[in-house]
Amino acid sequence: EDKVVQSPLSLVVHEGDTVTLNCSYEVTNFRSLLWYKQEKKAPTFLFMLTSSGIEKKSGRLSSILDKKELFSILNITATQTGDSAVYLCAAPGGSNYKLTFGKGTLLTVNP
């Protein structure tokens, strides 16, 4: 059965801190790993990673994939209160149709 495991499950930091969120996966026929941010509504897409070692970057957020060790990290530098959210990772498995999510990391950034 496909598995996506995120850690930590929750994290509290102060504004300006740098955080690293982890996502490990075990899926059949791995093709890609997806990161989403969820505030009080539907998840919004952040990154898709398909190749090992190639960093994807968007402003203060960056992410990288390690296909050998089966994990990905999401880094957020100089955190702001607006970064407070649940961060979800997901991987399509099997024949590329089934999309499995992890439990998410609840990030709280305090002023």
Taking CB under 8 A as the binding criterion, the range among 18-26, 27-35, 56-64, 73-81 that sits at the site for other proteins is 27-35
Q: Please, which of residues 76-95 interact with other proteins by CB under 8 A?
A: 88, 90, 92, 95
Confirm or reject binding of residue 41 to other proteins (CB under 8 A).
yes
Residue 29 in the binding site for other proteins (CB under 8 A): no
Of 43, 64, 72, 83, the one binding other proteins by CB under 8 A:
43
- Residues 6 or more apart from 69 whose CB is under 8 A from it? none
Q: Does 57 bind other proteins (CB under 8 A)?
A: no
Burial class (CB in 10 A: 0-12, 13-18, 19+), 9: exposed
Q: How far is the CB of 42 from other proteins (least distance, A)?
A: 4
DSSP tag of 31: -
Instruction: Give the interface segment with other proteins, choosing from 15-23, 59-67, 70-78, 102-110 (CB under 8 A).
Output: 102-110
Q: Which is nearer to other proteins, 50 or 80 (CB)?
A: 50
Positions of E strands within the chain? 3-7, 10-14, 19-26, 33-38, 44-49, 56-58, 61-66, 71-76, 85-93, 98-101, 105-110
- Centre a 10 Å sphere on the Cβ of residue 41 and count the other Cβ atoms it contains: 6
